[in-house]
Amino acid sequence: MGNIVAIVGRPNVGKSTLFNRLTGQRQAIVDEESGVTRDRIYGKAEWNGKEFSVIDTGGYAVNSDDIFEQEIRKQVLIAIDEADVIVFVTDVTTGITDYDEAVAEILRKANKKVLLAVNKVDNYERIPEASYFYALGLDNLFTISSINGSGTGDMLDKIVELLPDDKTEELPDIPKFTVVGRPNAGKSSIINTFIGEERNIVTPISGTTRDSIYTRYNKFGYDFFLVDTAGLRKKAKVKDDLEFYSTLRAVRAIESSDVCLLMIDATRGFEGQDQKIFHLIERNKKGMVIIVNKWDLIEKDHMSTKKFEEEIRNEIAPFTDIPIVFTSVINKKRIHKVLELAHEVYENRKRRIPTAKLNDFLLPIIDSNPPPATKGKYIKIKYVTQLPTKTPEFVFFCNLPQYVKDPYKRFLENKIRSNWNFSGSTINIYFRKK
């Protein structure tokens, strides 16, 4: 289960720049692999061999000059609830503002690990000015410049020192499924349908991870954990603007599962927030089934399942090899189909193709459809093998790996998918020099 570091502070102190610095390299690699557009809200960072998620709470702020104190207060409260370490960013050039004092007051009362980052200290003259920020009453003060990176190394050392060790009880080796989606798409209803009436067949495993409940489902020949983060604590504090909050919840849930069941509200279509969660799942290389819920509310003459499915696949391209199932949780329609597909995706994600079979199938195709020559140089692919990774990843050995472009990688991926069932699972393709 991943640790979460949240960045808080008022607008224009450099939170996003710091976020990009912490996640930059790591995220660039992730983006390159799956062609995802960069999402400022959430990224992965790694320091001294320890990996953690970074959340920029400012990403959902209402962009207006008179940003309300309550808006910032709300983000800070969410960070206190969700994060393991909080980085509170201030700006040396403006000194301490009323907002800063308000945030500091909330953080002092919270029993949380907090680092105070005084930003924009990009020359030595500003270091003495930064010491005024001790007045905020927070211990771990770091002078940084998120633009040029000075001071961020020391701060990262402290962050990883403060992060808790992930001690997870050994769980039985069975699939972990999680239901994710926007608020009100029907997530809790489907979870209740799976386990609600049959409390005797589910055994919540206590003490597994800090923030997820693993409920074991064992009937009808199925045996798996349902990872539930949503029902853990009811937040009276954050009533409005649940979007940011649900993204955070989704991050937690996605990271701790094998297959994500992305639930969409048929009456609202596939929206921006659905797309965001889709990319989080893809970026984390998890298996996926898309559930279109509340299909009973759609007039049959208004839209066919075929047309709706087509629209979703257009939105999620190029990764379109994903099972889509239309349900009505209220009427218990096609609920078992969801479990069937989730298990199938789980198996697809673990699929191993022997090297000989891969080469027998792919090399003739490559011979007749070689990669386009670049700058008069011809790319010769010698052989291919599957990497011993948790998710399907293939490496093609060739003379000029740097010249192979994305469209050709997609061509090869489609060929692999046409011959072996990897539905619902991401495939990553790499080229290496032989």
Please tell me the number of Cα atoms within 13 Å of 311 on its side-chain side: 12
The Cα–Cα gap between 281 and 288 comes to 7
Write out the two tokens for 345. Answer: 């995706």
Find which of 105-114, 158-167, 226-235, 412-421 is predicted with most confidence, using mean pLDDT. 412-421
* pLDDT score of 182 more than 60: yes
* pLDDT score of 27 more than 50: no
Q: What is the pLDDT of residue 213?
A: 64
Write out the two tokens for 328. Answer: 């009505």
Mean pLDDT of the chain: 82
**DSSP conformational letter for 374:** B
For residue 6, the cross-strand partners are: 55, 86
Q: Beta-strand (E) ranges in 9-128?
A: 42-47, 50-56, 85-91, 113-119
Write out the two tokens for 288. Answer: 């996926």
Q: What is the pLDDT of residue 67?
A: 52
Q: What is the pLDDT of residues 245-286, one digit of tens each?
A: 556 666 777 887 899 999 999 999 998 888 888 988 998 899
| 400, 404, 409, 412 alpha-carbon torsion, rounded to 10° | -50
Q: What is the mean pLDDT of residues 412-420?
A: 97
* pLDDT score of 235 more than 70: no
Q: What is the mean pLDDT of residues 51-72?
A: 63
- Output phi, psi for 138, to 5 deg: -115, 140
Which band of pLDDT confidence, cut at 50, 70 and 90, is reported for residue 384?
very high
Q: Count other Cβ atoms within 10 Å, centred on residue 270.
A: 21
**DSSP conformational letter for 157:** H
